[in-house]
Amino acid sequence: MLNRLSSFKIISLSFLLLIVLGTGLLMLPAATNDGQGAPLLTALFTTVSASCVTGLTVENTALYWSHWGQAVILVLIQIGGLGVVTMAVALTMASGRRIDLRQRSTIQEAWGCSQLGGIVRILRFVLRLTVGLELAGAAVLAPVFCRDYGLGEGLWMAFFHSISAFCNAGFDLMGERGGGSLMAYAGDPVVNLVIIGLIISGGLGFITWADLFDKGWRWKHYHVQTKIILCMTVLLILLPAALLFFRDLAAEPLSQRVLMALFQAVTPRTAGFNTMDIESLTEAGRIVLVGLMLTGGAPGSTAGGVKVTTAFVLMASAVASLRMKTDIACFKRRIAPQSLQQAVTIFLLYLGLFAGSTFLISEIDAIPVIDCMVETSSALGTVGLSIGLTEHLSVASQLILIGLMYFGRVGALTMIYTLNNQYRPNRGRLPEEKITVG
């Protein structure tokens, strides 16, 4: 039966199976501190949020879930961050079995690789990179957390937050300490810089990292996609950081202000941690937050959103139109028309889901639209930032968020190809007709 499924359907179904398994595990009595097990909706919402590396919660992770439940959530984050298919193929490799063509093709689609060759080599590199960065992050965080929470709890927290940050999940174990999330460490340079580094590393994408390691510091030899991702990443960090620094964080001490502005510019693009009170943001700040959450990270990464490459192609197309050029060009290369078509489709899908779900939740729960925009963009972009609404929403609204998280993690193109049984090539071309626009 699996042989008849396309790679895209396998990717979609693999996340569904992970969600079913995770929900069952979190409903067990051992998963919660009260020994009663989680209700179905709580377990389902948490599992979807963890496996789709979002970070939205209906219960406090540190206070509600036992260490066993937290371990289940962490495993879901790790599998969801790398991808269920990636983890399954990694286990196949570890058992000494050969990776067949179908498995290679599925990984190619999951990561958005342009070619099938070298997939196994890249997979080995990805696994080493993931383990190396997560262990390094935990090692640097451990002294800080062990100092504050003791050896055993400190090591667990360092390990948990390192994986959560690299996988761009945003789950934390702080409970109510310091206001929640990482607000207690707003002025700590070690925690801030390590978490920022892990978030950016996970959000750059595995193919980008492979290109960087292959080419070293030779910018001219990078693939165009790598150049786009690096430029957009820098741009989407510096501009929001400057806005937050001069507006929403103007009252903070200078040294802490710099860290908070930088941290809060990085995390909305899919990580979900925060060192400032999101509820205190001005409306302008919330709009910037929504834009960053919907944009997300790089394709083939642990990040969600429409992806920075999609945003770049749309902007490049607009620039080309303004300059009366028929081709979209960047870095001395012409972007394929198919890329623009896919970018427009993805953007409109995300925009439609975002607007529709915002309207529905606002109507169902009688919540201001601007507040709903933060929650829906957070779910759709698999970010996890919240202004405290998620746990108070109705069952219907929480189910809408569950659907958005799943769509955001699986991806728009995967969903499109999953719902379409086969590619239908054009048998012929109809006569062309020019339509006036604008």
Confidence class for position 419, pLDDT limits 50, 70, 90: low
Q: What per-residue confidence (pLDDT) applies to 176?
A: 76
d(CA 83, CA 91) in angstroms, rounded, equals 13
Mean pLDDT of 260-280: 88
Question: % helix / strand / coil in the chain, to the nearest 5?
Answer: 70, 0, 30
Q: What per-residue confidence (pLDDT) applies to 303?
A: 82
Cα torsion angle, 347, 348, 352, 355, sign: positive
At 155-165, the pLDDT tens digits run 999 999 999 99
Q: What is the dihedral of CA 43, 48, 50, 55, to 10 degrees?
A: -100
d(CA 210, CA 111) in angstroms, rounded, equals 12
Please report, for the chain, the start and end positions of each structural domain, with discontinuous segments joined by +: 7-419
d(CA 122, CA 107) in angstroms, rounded, equals 10
CA-based nearest residue to 74, from 58, 51, 45: 51
Q: How many residues are there in the chain?
A: 438
At 376-410, the pLDDT tens digits run 999 999 888 888 888 889 999 999 999 999 988 88
d(CA 178, CA 242) in angstroms, rounded, equals 25
Residue-wise DSSP of 34-63 = TSS---HHHHHHHHHHHHTT----SS-HHH
Confidence class for position 214, pLDDT limits 50, 70, 90: confident
Helix axes 412-419, 395-410, angle to 10 degrees: 90
